[in-house]
Amino acid sequence: MNNHRSIGLAVAQLGAVHLADSRASVVRRLVEMMREAKSRGADFVVFPELALTTFFPRYWITEEEAHERYFEATMPSEETRPLFDAARELGLGFYLGYAELTEDKRGFNTSIIVSPQGEIVGKYRKIHLPGHSDHKVDAPFQHLEKKFFEVGDLGFRVFDTQSVRFGMCLCNDRRWPETYRVMALQGAEVVVLGYNTPSVNIHWNEPVHLRTSTHLISLQANAYQNGVWVAASAKCGSEDGHHMIGSSAIVAPTGEIVARTVTEEDEVISTRADLDLGAMFREHVFNFAKHRRPEHYKLITERTGVGAPIA
Write out the residues near ligand CDT by the rule CB under 6 A: 49, 130-131, 143, 171-172, 175, 195-197, 201
Residue 38 is among the residues annotated as catalytic for this protein: no
195 vs 169: CA distance, rounded Å: 9
Rounded CA-CA distance 36/306 in Å is: 47
* Shorter beta-carbon distance to ligand CDT: residue 48 or 93: 48
Of 2, 16, 43, whose CA–CA distance to 267 is shortest?
Answer: 16
Query: Which of 42/51 has CB closer to ligand CDT?
Result: 51
- Closer to ligand CDT by Cβ: residue 161 or 201: 201
Which residue lies nearer to ligand CDT by CB, 99 or 273?
99
Instruction: Name the active-site residue from 49, 100, 145, 264.
Output: 49
User: Shortest CA distance to 202 belongs to which of 283, 109, 130, 293?
Assistant: 130
Cβ 174 vs Cβ 218: under 8 Å: yes
171 is catalytic: yes
> Nearest approach, Cβ of 272 to ligand CDT (angstroms)?
28
Alpha carbons 151 and 172: distance in angstroms, whole number? 12
* Strand ranges inside the chain, DSSP E: 6-13, 44-46, 93-101, 107-114, 120-125, 158-161, 164-170, 190-195, 229-234, 237-239, 242-244, 249-251, 257-260, 267-274, 303-305, 308-309
Catalytic residue among 38, 169, 171, 236: 171
Residue 247 to residue 230: CA distance in whole angstroms: 13
Task: Quote the least distance from Cβ 235 to ligand CDT, whole Å.
Answer: 9
Q: 38, 126, 147, 235: which is the annotated catalytic residue?
A: 126
CA-based nearest residue to 44, from 213, 299, 250: 250
| Cβ-based nearer residue to ligand CDT, 53 or 270 | 53
d(CA 158, CA 165): 6
Residue of 194, 233, 150 whose CA lies nearest to 49: 194
Query: Taking the CA atoms of the chain, what radius of gyration do you get in angstroms?
Result: 19
Catalytic residues: 49, 126, 171
